[in-house]
Amino acid sequence: MGAKDMFANLGSIIASLMFVWAMFQQYVPYQLQHNIEKYCQILVRFVYPYIQIRFDELSGDYDFFRSEAYTAIQTYLSSRSCTQAKKLKADIAKNSQSLALRMDDHEEVADEFQGLKLWWASGKEVSNTPSWWTPEEKRYYRLTCHKRHRELILGPYLNHVIKEGKAIEARNRQRKLYTNSDSKWSHVVLKHPATFQTLAMDPEKKKEIVEDLIAFSKAEEFYERVGRAWKRGYLLYGPPGTGKSSMIAAMANLLGYDLYDLELTSVKNNTELRKLLMEVSSKAIILIEDIDCSLDLTGQRKKKKKKKEKDEAKEKKDPKQKPEKEEKETEESKVTLSGLLNFIDGLWSACGGERLIVFTTNYVEQLDPALIRSGRMDKHIELSYCRFEAFKGLAKNYLQIESHPLFGRIRELLDEANLSPADVAEHLMPKRASGDPTVSLESLIQGLEKAKEDARLKAEEEAKKNDQAAKEEAKDQEKEVTTEE
Ligand SMILES: Nc1ncnc2c1ncn2[C@@H]1O[C@H](COP(=O)(O)OP(=O)(O)OP(=O)(O)O)[C@@H](O)[C@H]1O
């Protein structure tokens, strides 16, 4: 039979079916039609080997809300749609920072899970009776899979889809930087470009930190199993300019967390602190910078002492001058170490999850041991002066070079002089329009030589002072002996 005959037969079959269908609708009573349709559907369901699950875009009693499951599925299917669907829709989603692609209506994509094949189709229903609260079109996704795998699909597969979809959403979401004032959080979009790739530090140490953070973000089940709140404390310490703030931004960028920069000096008391912390969302980094300067923690006493010294010095210069108002307010603050520790350890920490609490300090030795004991601050990270491995990272980022004849001299000097990565980076900034790296490296060598010389002079001076003090002490002792005699 030729193709021509085949099409002719097909045409007559379709025409006959349409004729039967028209007769059926015209002559069979409505009630009987309804019953026949119902039993046909039951029969089809009986022999049809697949199950179908439908996820509507709108949920709630009056289809008022966009369904979370629908949104997560849409995000999950986005990458599959890009490779499989013929028609795509593109848009920038709310709070997102990148273009979101999804399959258009009436498209189908396949997925695989533990060796099983499944199909997702997108569809749309047009309402015959639209009203002001129900939209004209209702979209949905339909999942089709074999009946045999019902349990696997309804349990682990759908969990996987929703979880993965939400994780992608979180990664694409714009991160926010919150700051507190007047017992309220206000936020801006966090757009710090620092990442772990741009952070210059020992590669081994960096790898360890990144692995630790990723393990934490995936450890929900572990924390649940062992009965611990899903939080982790980090203490970052080191001299100024060694990259503590940059590392925190890199952490937020890596995990897609919001950053809550908690300024303890503007929190009036423990009650206000509790209120602020209760408002912190999940997937967040709570940052307390320069903890050594923050109130009672090490604490208020020291600040008072420092302030007194400062006031005394000022009074010597100008006896009429009043102490600063701002500092007075700080002194009145009543956030206490025990208050803060209560929140870190207490029940609050178990409301919501996935939170990192990060403290930074330039003077780790001055911190109260209660604050840094393990269990509270799980990981202590030291950020130190720039050594050769970290320098290589900076040179790659700033100058786009991995080797240079001057690297040998720089290596020697970095072992002998203490320069922070911030200072090294300053020398590596483009010096000339030509962008010749030699100019930057020579400037760095000069900087290192100067730092080395300064350190030598300082050491000499200190040695002299010590010598002098020892001589004076010896003299005093001699005097005491003679008076006793
Ligand atoms: N390890 C580093 N890798 C890359 N850049 C760095 C590093 N450390 C510092 N920098 C550069 O120096 C600048 C200052 O660094 P950052 O604010 O992160 O230091 P910090 O340790 O937080 O300083 P402080 O203790 O004074 O707050 C950053 O903007 C960054 O460009």
What does the block give as tokens for 411?
């290596």
Closest residue (by CA) to atom 8 of ligand 1? 243
Closest residue (by CA) to atom 7 of ligand 1? 243
Summarize the confidence of residues 378-403 as an average pLDDT.
92
The band of 325, judged by pLDDT with boundaries at 50, 70 and 90, is very low
CA of 194 to the centre of ligand 1 (A): 10
CA of 331 to the centre of ligand 1 (A): 29
**Closest atom of ligand 1 to CA, residue 238:** 21
The residue whose CB lies within 8 Å of the most ligand 1 atoms, and thus the one to mutate among 246, 293, 392, is 246
What does the block give as tokens for 224?
């649940």
Task: State whether 270 and 289 are in the same domain.
Answer: yes
Look at residue 330 and tell me if it is in a domain.
yes
CA of 294 to the centre of ligand 1 (A): 20
pLDDT at residue 132 greater than cutoff 70: no
Closest residue (by CA) to atom 11 of ligand 1? 422
Amino acid at 415: D
The residue whose CB lies within 8 Å of the most ligand 1 atoms, and thus the one to mutate among 198, 205, 242, is 242
pLDDT on residue 330: 44
Of 136, 155, 172, the residue at which a domain comes to its end is 172
Q: In sequence order, what are the beta bridge partners of 93?
A: none
Give me the number of domains the chain comprises.
Answer: 3
Amino acid at 224: E
Task: State whether 238 and 118 are in the same domain.
Answer: no
Look at residue 485 and tell me if it is in a domain.
no
Instruction: State the CB neighbour count (10 A cutoff) for residue 381.
Output: 19
Summarize the confidence of residues 260-272 as an average pLDDT.
88
The band of 195, judged by pLDDT with boundaries at 50, 70 and 90, is very high
Of 382, 401, 423, the residue at which a domain comes to its end is 382
Q: Range with the lowest mean pLDDT among 40-44, 65-69, 348-352?
A: 348-352
Of 152, 172, 192, the residue at which a domain comes to its end is 172
pLDDT at residue 96 greater than cutoff 70: no
Distance CA 261, CA 238 (A): 19
CA of 110 to the centre of ligand 1 (A): 47
Query: Which residue range forms the structural domain that includes residue 293?
Result: 176-382
CA of 302 to the centre of ligand 1 (A): 26
pLDDT at residue 64 greater than cutoff 70: no
CA of 446 to the centre of ligand 1 (A): 21
**Closest atom of ligand 1 to CA, residue 397:** 4
Instruction: DSSP for 323-336, please give it.
Output: PPHHHHHHHH-B--
CA of 337 to the centre of ligand 1 (A): 27
**Closest atom of ligand 1 to CA, residue 422:** 12
Closest residue (by CA) to atom 31 of ligand 1? 422
The predicted-structure confidence for 444-484, as pLDDT tens digits, reads as follows: 999 999 999 999 999 999 999 998 988 888 888 888 877 77
CA of 436 to the centre of ligand 1 (A): 24
pLDDT on residue 94: 62
Decide which of 113 and 339 is more confident.
113
Task: State whether 124 and 183 are in the same domain.
Answer: no
Burial of 133 (0-12, 13-18, 19+ CB in 10 A): exposed
Look at residue 231 and tell me if it is in a domain.
yes
The predicted-structure confidence for 227-240, as pLDDT tens digits, reads as follows: 888 889 899 999 99
**Closest atom of ligand 1 to CA, residue 386:** 1
Q: How remote is the C-alpha of 205 from its chain's centroid?
A: 20
Distance CA 378, CA 385 (A): 23
pLDDT on residue 328: 44
CA of 342 to the centre of ligand 1 (A): 31
Look at residue 15 and tell me if it is in a domain.
no
Task: State whether 160 and 260 are in the same domain.
Answer: no
Q: Tell me, what's the ipTM?
A: 0.96
Summarize the confidence of residues 61-67 as an average pLDDT.
67
What does the block give as tokens for 478?
């001699």
CA of 421 to the centre of ligand 1 (A): 7
Q: E strands of 22-98, at which residues? A: 50-56, 58-59, 65-66, 88-92
Look at residue 8 and tell me if it is in a domain.
no
Closest residue (by CA) to atom 25 of ligand 1? 240
Closest residue (by CA) to atom 17 of ligand 1? 245
* Cα–Cα nearest to 395, from 384, 410, 378: 410
Decide which of 182 and 64 is more confident.
182
Task: State whether 258 and 131 are in the same domain.
Answer: no
Task: State whether 427 and 326 are in the same domain.
Answer: no
Closest residue (by CA) to atom 27 of ligand 1? 240
**Closest atom of ligand 1 to CA, residue 199:** 3
CA of 454 to the centre of ligand 1 (A): 22
Can you tell me which residue has the tokens 């199950």? Answer: 51
Protein residues with CB under 6 Å of any ligand 1 atom: 198-201, 240-246, 362, 421-422, 425
Q: Which helix (H) or strand (E) holds 415?
A: helix 407-416
**Closest atom of ligand 1 to CA, residue 425:** 11
CA of 422 to the centre of ligand 1 (A): 5
pLDDT on residue 360: 93
CA of 235 to the centre of ligand 1 (A): 16
Look at residue 7 and tell me if it is in a domain.
no
Sorted by sequence, the CB contacts under 8 Å of residue 63 that are 6+ apart come out as 56, 133, 134, 135, 138
pLDDT at residue 135 greater than cutoff 70: no
The predicted-structure confidence for 5-58, as pLDDT tens digits, reads as follows: 888 888 888 888 888 888 888 888 888 888 888 888 888 777 778 888 999 888
Task: State whether 275 and 411 are in the same domain.
Answer: no
Task: State whether 321 and 286 are in the same domain.
Answer: yes
pLDDT on residue 454: 92
Q: In sequence order, what are the beta bridge partners of 52?
A: 144
Q: How far apart are the first and last CA of the chain?
A: 137
The band of 82, judged by pLDDT with boundaries at 50, 70 and 90, is confident
Q: In sequence order, what are the beta bridge partners of 121?
A: 108, 142
* Cα–Cα nearest to 181, from 258, 252, 259, 264: 264
Distance CA 207, CA 254 (A): 13
**Closest atom of ligand 1 to CA, residue 249:** 18
Distance CA 27, CA 169 (A): 54
Look at residue 295 and tell me if it is in a domain.
yes
pLDDT on residue 95: 59
**Closest atom of ligand 1 to CA, residue 246:** 18
Task: State whether 155 and 185 are in the same domain.
Answer: no
* Cα–Cα nearest to 390, from 127, 328, 398: 398
Task: State whether 322 and 436 are in the same domain.
Answer: no
pLDDT on residue 288: 92
Task: State whether 111 and 213 are in the same domain.
Answer: no
pLDDT on residue 187: 92
Q: What is the mean pLDDT of the chain?
A: 82
The predicted-structure confidence for 363-374, as pLDDT tens digits, reads as follows: 888 887 877 776
* Cα–Cα nearest to 246, from 287, 198, 184: 198
Look at residue 12 and tell me if it is in a domain.
no
Task: State whether 167 and 134 are in the same domain.
Answer: yes
- Any idea what the CATH number is for the domain that residue 217 is in? 3.40.50.300
Distance CA 107, CA 120 (A): 8
Q: pLDDT above 70 covers what percent of the chain?
A: 84
